[in-house]
């Protein structure tokens, strides 16, 4: 008579340890790869479609922005509305798109901008005879003698440091297609952190 082994005491077949370790490593690598690609994908979307970092180089926007400040540019808002007067924008320099500039929007499409005797005057539908632009954020007069009429999709931009800025006074209008986005925050140095707001110029402006 042959003895029968209970299933609970039946000898187990030895496992292939190498195979188990190999499968575990493959699963681990796959999980890491999936996590990394997800993070990189999100970072790519944020970097190229939502926000973009820039360094301020030079003094053309003093005293609002300083040399070597690290700023974050909002690339989303202008997909839903047009740039507003007073917005500080980063754009590709029309004369050489390999370079990026930071300036403030002063004139809007359809308007005429006049610079005379250190003052900026805006002519538009609300002010056909013109109205002087009050800019409390700058301590300088606006040098130059310029009269420029803007077509659809064209903007007139100026640096806040009016005596030391290369802007629409020297190289002309800024086409909408060159605008990268609106400056959202000054991120670094940390003691200079601030959000950037668009000033109000009054009714009709």
> Exposed, middle or buried, 58 (CB in 10 Å: 0-12/13-18/19+)?
middle
Look at residue 39 in the predicted model and tell me its pLDDT: 47
Q: Judging by beta carbons within 10 Å of its beta carbon (0-12, 13-18, 19+), is residue 173 exposed, middle or buried? A: buried
Residue 170 confidence (pLDDT): 96
In tens, the pLDDT along 31-86 reads 676 565 544 444 444 455 457 899 899 999 999 999 999 999 999 999 999 999 99
Comparing 162 with 205, the larger pLDDT belongs to 162
Q: What is the pLDDT of residues 117-140, one digit of tens each?
A: 999 999 999 999 999 999 999 998
| pTM (predicted TM-score) | 0.77
Per-position DSSP letters for 16-83, written without gaps between them: -HHHHHHHHHHHHHHHHHHHHHHHHHHHHHIIIIIEEEEE--SSTTTTTS-TT-EEEEE-SGGGTS--
Inform me whether the pLDDT recorded for 9 exceeds 60.
no
The secondary structure element, H or E, covering residue 171 is helix 168-171
Mean pLDDT along residues 141-154 = 96
- Please, which residues have CB within 8 angstroms of residue 100's CB and are 6 or more apart in sequence? 54, 90, 91, 92, 93, 180
pLDDT at 179 over 50: yes
What residues act catalytically? Answer: 60, 103
**Comparison of pLDDT for 51 and 101, the residue scoring more:** 101
pLDDT of 202 reads: 84
φ, ψ at 19 (rounded to 5°): -65, -40
Task: Report the mean per-residue pLDDT for the chain.
Answer: 86
């Amino acid at each position: 008579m042959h003895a029968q082994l209970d299933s609970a005491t039946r000898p187990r077949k030895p496992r292939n340890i190498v195979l188990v370790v190999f499968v575990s490593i493959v699963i681990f690598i796959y999980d890491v790869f999936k996590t990394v690609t997800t993070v990189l994908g999100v970072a790519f979307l944020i970097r190229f479609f939502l926000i973009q970092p820039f360094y301020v180089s030079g003094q053309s926007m003093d005293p609002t922005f300083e040399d070597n400040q690290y700023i974050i540019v909002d690339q989303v808002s202008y997909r839903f509305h047009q740039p507003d007067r007073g917005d500080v924008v980063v754009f590709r320099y029309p004369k050489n798109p390999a370079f990026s500039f930071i300036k403030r929007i002063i004139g809007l499409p359809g308007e005429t901008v006049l610079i005379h005797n250190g003052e900026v005057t805006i002519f538009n539908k609300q002010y056909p005879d013109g109205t002087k632009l009050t800019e409390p954020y700058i301590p300088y007069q606006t040098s130059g003698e310029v009269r420029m009429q803007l077509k659809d999709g064209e903007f007139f931009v100026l640096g806040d440091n009016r005596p030391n800025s290369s802007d629409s006074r020297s190289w002309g209008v800024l086409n909408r297609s060159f605008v990268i986005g609106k400056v959202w925050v000054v991120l670094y140095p940390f003691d200079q952190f601030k959000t950037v707001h668009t000033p109000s110029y009054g009714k009709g402006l």
